[in-house]
Amino acid sequence: MSILVRFGWNAFFEEQRERLGRSDLQFARVVEEQRGAWRVAGEFDGWTEVSGRFRHESASGADFPAVGDWVGVSAGIIHARLERKSTVSRKAAGRAVDEQVVAANVDTIFLVTALGEATSDLNPRRLERYLTMVWEAGAVPVVVLNKADLSADPEGEAESLRSRLPFVDVVTVSALRDDAGLKGCATSLGLYLQPAQTVALVGSSGVGKSTIVNRLLGSEAQRVRDIAADGRGRHTTTARQLLELPGGALLIDTPGMRELQPWADESAVESAFDDIAALALECRFTDCMHHGEPDCAVAAAVDGGRLDPDRLEHYRRLLREMAFEERKRDKSAAAEHKRRWKQMHQAQKALYTRRERLE
């Protein structure tokens, strides 16, 4: 197996390399990102930075390399980033309308949450937000319920979640316990941990992502901190990294997400709530809002106990949020377009003024 294939290279990227036609470039995958510097592995190994031209031609932060990206490098400088097969993005924290790429070229995403009364992070609404992000990314979501040893009925909680999140695999693990740690994680998650397949771990702080990574690696590669006395999680991972597991799978660990606003549109919400979308096809009206219209199949499912009313309410809320964010992005794009036209007009006006003076 070549070094590129070992890190996930396939025909999708090989075709781009041939189209690019840059024999001067070595190709490598971004395995770590640290404030304007990227560590890569492949035909070139080491820390790199982007070229001035790359920086100038990047329209936004989302154009810059992210962990999991494939890049073309020459003498330690990144000159090209290949098109992404999948992109895990969210709205950047704060008021600015900008996309933040969490990871790139991911095959499967483990949505990690924690069980247990004192440290429970299990929140179906948060998971639905994560699922919206995953479906938009083009990856396969798997809900991982960690710290099963702290729950009185882990399988019962898992079954309850499966009923709310149909068509999504839900597995329980206990990464901390010796008898269910490495062996338990590897057995439960092994279906997705195949050689050269990329898996990303996403979840709030303190749910045990770093502990799972250590169990799968078989070493204490990631620093782990205990949960605070108030039950809140503490950040342990401070930078995204791509790690190679003993079996050949590739694992991306991400810092906990304190603020999560999916960078997606309404179609991603429909994918995350595909049970509601399927029911909506049976509604009398094609534009049914599921809010009191006659012969509404979605409302009938709620009345019949086949659909959780809270799930329906969260579906509506996410649709409203996505529509609002889309409007903001449109306004931002319109404002940027207006700004550029103003600059061009001012430059043209200054040119005419100079010509008149010369004449």
Question: Which structure tokens are listed for 290?
Answer: 């599921």
Predicted local confidence at residue 232, as pLDDT = 36
- Backbone phi, then psi, for 214, in 5-degree steps? -65, -40
- Write the pLDDT tens digit of every residue in 258-275: 444 555 556 667 767 878
Listed in sequence order, the DSSP H helices in 27-98 are 52-57
Q: Where in the chain is the domain with CATH 2.40.50.140?
A: 3-83
Mean pLDDT, residues 189-209: 87
Longest dimension (CA), the chain: 88
Lowest mean per-residue pLDDT among 169-183, 212-226, 329-343: 329-343
Mean pLDDT, residues 43-66: 94
Query: Pairing between strand 87-91 and 169-172?
Result: unpaired
CA 171/CA 161 separation, integer angstroms: 10
Question: Which structure tokens are listed for 27?
Answer: 């190709």
CA 104/CA 81 separation, integer angstroms: 11
Predicted local confidence at residue 334, as pLDDT = 52
Question: Which structure tokens are listed for 64?
Answer: 């810059």
Position 114 confidence tier, pLDDT thresholds 50, 70, 90 = confident
Mean pLDDT, residues 292-313: 88
Predicted local confidence at residue 177, as pLDDT = 61
- Write the pLDDT tens digit of every residue in 128-160: 888 887 877 888 999 999 888 888 888 899 998
More confident position, 238 or 51: 51
Percent of the chain with pLDDT over 90: 31
Question: Which structure tokens are listed for 23?
Answer: 């024999």
CB burial of residue 166 (10 Å; 0-12, 13-18, 19+): exposed
- The DSSP secondary-structure symbol of 252 reads E
Three-class DSSP category at 99: strand
Mean pLDDT, residues 39-55: 96
Task: Return the CATH number of 3-83, one of 2.40.50.140, 3.40.50.620, 2.40.160.40, 1.10.3720.10.
Answer: 2.40.50.140
Q: Where in the chain is the domain with CATH 3.40.50.300?
A: 90-95+101-253
Q: Which residues contact 116 (CB under 8 A, 6 or more apart)?
A: 147, 150, 151
Residue 165 and residue 131 in contact, taking contact as beta carbons nearer than 8 Å: yes
Question: Which structure tokens are listed for 158?
Answer: 């898992």
Q: What letter represents residue 181's amino acid?
A: G
Look-up: residue for tokens 């440290």? 119
- Write the pLDDT tens digit of every residue in 319-341: 777 776 666 556 555 555 555 55
Lowest mean per-residue pLDDT among 47-51, 157-161, 200-204: 200-204
Mean pLDDT, residues 59-83: 95
CA 218-223-227 angle, to 5 degrees, is: 110
Question: Which structure tokens are listed for 307?
Answer: 């659909």
- Write the pLDDT tens digit of every residue in 221-235: 554 443 333 333 333
CA 65/CA 63 separation, integer angstroms: 7
* Mean pLDDT across the chain: 79
More confident position, 8 or 116: 8
Which fold does the domain 90-95+101-253 belong to in CATH? Rossmann fold (3.40.50)
Predicted local confidence at residue 47, as pLDDT = 97
